Amino acid sequence: GQNIDQPTEMTATEGAIVQINCTYQTSGFNGLFWYQQHAGEAPTFLSYNVLDGLEEKGRFSSFLSRSKGYSYLLLKELQMKDSASYLCAVYTGGFKTIFGAGTRLFVKA
């Protein structure tokens, strides 16, 4: 079966660092996406990891371990505008992307 797990909700403080974990079990794997989705809006692309390791892009970093079926999204210097849902998604190939249920992040002052 296809399964992507991520925490339902997380709360963090403005200026802090937060790590959102994602584990997956899928029939195929070509890469892993992280998307940000604000309430009532469509998802926006954050990162795409194909190989193991950490990729950094400004305040956001994404890590992948294919052997462990594990990824995380790291957000540094949290801002209030980072309050959103973060979706982990696996591209299995053949135009198929499987989305996790998302992690709702609340950033408090």
Partner 1 sequence: GAVVSQHPSRVICKSGTSVKIECRSLDFQATTMFWYRQFPKKSLMLMATSNEGSKATYEQGVEKDKFLINHASLTLSTLTVTSAHPEDSSFYICSATKTGLEETQYFGPGTRLLVL
- The yes or no reply on residue 53 touching partner 1 (CB under 8 A) is no
CA–CA distance, 37 with 9 (Å, rounded to integer): 14
The residues facing 95 across adjacent strands are none
Residue type at position 19? Q
**Nearest distance from C-beta of residue 33 to partner 1, angstroms:** 7
Do residues 86 and 19 touch, judged by C-beta distance below 8 A?
Answer: no
- The yes or no reply on residue 86 touching partner 1 (CB under 8 A) is no
- The yes or no reply on residue 7 touching partner 1 (CB under 8 A) is no
**Given candidates 3, 11, 44, 65, which one binds partner 1 under the rule CB under 8 A?**
44
Coil vs helix vs strand at 80: helix
The residue ranges that bind partner 1 (CB under 8 A) are: 30-31, 33, 35, 40-45, 48, 87, 91, 95, 97, 99-102, 104
